[in-house]
Amino acid sequence: MLRPAATPLAPVTPARLEVRGLTVGYRRRLAVDRVDLVAEPGERLGIIGPNGAGKTSLVQAIVGTARTRSGQVLVGGQPARHVRGHIGYLPQRAEVDWQHPAQVRDVVAMGRYPHRGPLGRLRSEDRAAIADALERVELTGLAERRIGELSGGQRQRTALARVLAQEAPVLLLDEPYAGLDATTTTVIERTLRDAATAGATVVVVDHDLGRLRDRYDRLLALDGRVVAAGTVDAVLTRQVLATTYGLADVLADLAAADPDGDRHPTGEGQP
C-alpha cells in the first residue's frame, strides 16, 4: 500500500495548466484529438461531455498515465513530466485498498510522499498538512478510523484529503461527485471552491449538468475534440449542448435536475 519516499518537491507558487494540441489514441481510434485547454490559478474549470467523449483519457494524459500521440502539457510553464508532483490527481476510482487495516490518517499521509525526505519520515510540516486536509473535508474526528469501516462518501473525502495533503498547485479530479450523498457533495464543492480561492488551479470532469453554474467559473465541452470553451453561460447554450450530447438528452437531464424550470441551457427563459 505504501510507496517509497520520493525526492522532496521545492516550494511552488500557483501554476497555470496548459494543454496544447493533445492527441491520445488507442490502436486505430483517437480518444481525444488535438485538444487545447488552459486553466488559470484561482479558477475552477469543468470538463463536460458524453460517455466515450475522451474526458478520462484527457486527464490521464495530463497526469502521464496515458500515452499521447502528440501535444504538450505544461504546468507553470514547465513540461508536466518534469513536475508530476505539482498535479494532485483524484481518479474515478481512488487507488486505495479499502480492505487494508489502515487508518484514515494513514491514507491521507500518502499525499505527503512527494515532499518527504530521504528517510521518508513525517516531519512537523507533513503532520500539519495532513491535519489541515482532514479538517477541510470534515474528517478530523475519523482520523483514526479503519478505512474498511468508512461509508462511500467518507471514502471519497479520504481520497480527496490525500490529494489536498500533497499541496499541489493544480488539482485534477475525474468525476469526484459520482454516486455521492448530499453531505459529501456539499463538502467537496466547498473544498474545491476554497482551494481555488486560495490560488489553486482546479480542473474537474463532471457529468451533472444541473450543477455546473454553482461549481465552475469556466467550462470545456468535449466530444473527442473541443466543442466549446469559455464561461459557463457561453458553453451552456442549446447549440453547444446539442452538438456535444444531442439536444433531446440534454433537455431531459436538465428538466430532471430543475423540475421548476428555473434554469435553461441558454440561461434564458423557456421559448
Domains of the chain, residue spans? 17-257
From its phi and psi, is residue 23 left (phi > 0), alpha (psi between -120 and 50) or beta? beta
Does residue 3 have a pLDDT over 60? no
Return the pLDDT at 115.
Answer: 74
- Average pLDDT of the residues in 42-46: 97
Does residue 256 have a pLDDT over 70? no
- Considering only 2-6, 113-117, 195-199, which range has the smallest mean pLDDT? 2-6
Q: The domain 17-257 belongs to what CATH superfamily? A: P-loop containing nucleotide triphosphate hydrolases (3.40.50.300)
Contact 53, 16 (CB under 8 A): no
pLDDT band per the 50, 70, 90 thresholds, residue 56: very high
Contact 235, 244 (CB under 8 A): no
Return the pLDDT at 70.
Answer: 93
Contact 185, 165 (CB under 8 A): no
Angle between helices 152-165 and 124-136 (to 10 degrees): 140
Return the pLDDT at 42.
Answer: 94
Dihedral sign for Cα 120, 121, 127, 130, please.
positive
**Contacts of 44 by beta carbon, 8 Å cutoff, 6+ apart:** 192, 193, 196, 202, 203, 204, 215, 216, 217, 218
Contact 73, 18 (CB under 8 A): yes
Return the pLDDT at 27.
Answer: 79
For residue 74 the three cell numbers come to 505544461
Angle at alpha carbon of residue 16, lines to 13 and 18, rounded to 5°: 150
- Average pLDDT of the residues in 127-140: 95
Task: Report the alpha-carbon distance of residue 227 to residue 241 in Å, rounded.
Answer: 9
Q: Report the mean per-residue pLDDT for the chain.
A: 86
Return the pLDDT at 93.
Answer: 80
Q: Enumerate the β-bridge partners of residue 19.
A: 37, 73
Does residue 269 have a pLDDT over 60? no
Q: What percent of the chain has pLDDT over 70?
A: 84
Residue-wise pLDDT for 90-122, tens only, equals 998 877 788 888 999 999 999 998 776 555 678
User: Quick one: 79 exposed, middle or buried, by C-beta within 10 A (0-12, 13-18, 19+)?
Assistant: exposed
Does residue 5 have a pLDDT over 70? no
**Contacts of 226 by beta carbon, 8 Å cutoff, 6+ apart:** 35, 36, 37, 220
Sheet holding 70-75: strands in order across? 29-39, 17-26, 70-75, 78-79
Cα(first)–Cα(last) distance of the chain, in Å?
Answer: 55
Task: Report the alpha-carbon distance of residue 111 to residue 147 in Å, rounded.
Answer: 16
- Average pLDDT of the residues in 237-259: 74
Return the pLDDT at 247.
Answer: 64
Return the pLDDT at 265.
Answer: 52
21 backbone dihedrals φ, ψ, rounded to 5°: 55, 40
Dihedral in degrees, nearest 10, Cα atoms 11, 65, 78, 174 = -70
